[in-house]
Amino acid sequence: MSNAATPADWANGLHLTAGPYFLGLYQPSPETKDFWAGVELRELLLKFCAESGNWLHPKRIVCPDCGSDKLEMRRASGRGKVYSFSEVHRAASPAFAKSAPYVIGVVRLEEGVHLFTRIIPGSAPVKIDAPVQVDFRVLELGQLLPVFVVAA
C-alpha cells in the first residue's frame, strides 16, 4: 500500500505510519468457508486428515505430512493452552479503543493446531500455558468470532 501523504524521505529518516489498513473483517475463502459456517453454529471446526490422522489448521488444503488433499472438517474439543500473547493497551484502530486493554495471542489446541485469536481473562489471568476454552462472541466489528477464555 502506498501513502502519498507521507512519501519516504530517506535523507531525513523514514516516517513510519500504519497508513490505511484493513480492519480484519473475515471473508470466508474456499478453504475456510466450512470453518466460518461452524462459527455461525458456535462450533469450532478444524480440518482432519483421514489418511494420517492429523488435525490441521482450517486454512490447510493439503496435509503437510502425507500430502493428501482429502481433508474433512471435524469438531475440535475447544480446549487448549495459551502459547503466546500480547496485551494491547494502545488500540491499533479507534474501533478497538474502548476494548483496550485487550489480549490477542496464539492458542495451542489439544489437537495440536495453533490459532491466532482474542484471549479473554476468565476466572484467571492470561498467562503462558494457562488452560483456555473456546467461546463465541460478537466483537468490536460486529462479527461473531471464536475467542478463548482462560479457565481456572
Report the interface residues with Zn ion, using CB under 5 A: 49, 51-52, 54, 63, 65-66, 68
Cβ-based nearer residue to Zn ion, 63 or 150? 63
Read off the DSSP letter of residue 95. Answer: G
CB of 14 vs Zn ion, minimal distance in Å: 45
Cβ-based nearer residue to Zn ion, 49 or 147? 49
CB of 50 vs Zn ion, minimal distance in Å: 8
CB of 112 vs Zn ion, minimal distance in Å: 13
> Can you tell me the distance from the alpha carbon of 109 to that of 77, in angstroms, rounded to the nearest whole number?
8
CB of 140 vs Zn ion, minimal distance in Å: 37
Cβ-based nearer residue to Zn ion, 64 or 125? 64
> Can you tell me the distance from the alpha carbon of 149 to that of 82, in angstroms, rounded to the nearest whole number?
10
The 10 Å Cβ neighbour count of residue 64 is 11
Q: What are phi and psi of 7, to 5 degrees?
A: -65, 150
Cβ-based nearer residue to Zn ion, 50 or 151? 50
> Can you tell me the distance from the alpha carbon of 135 to that of 18, in angstroms, rounded to the nearest whole number?
31
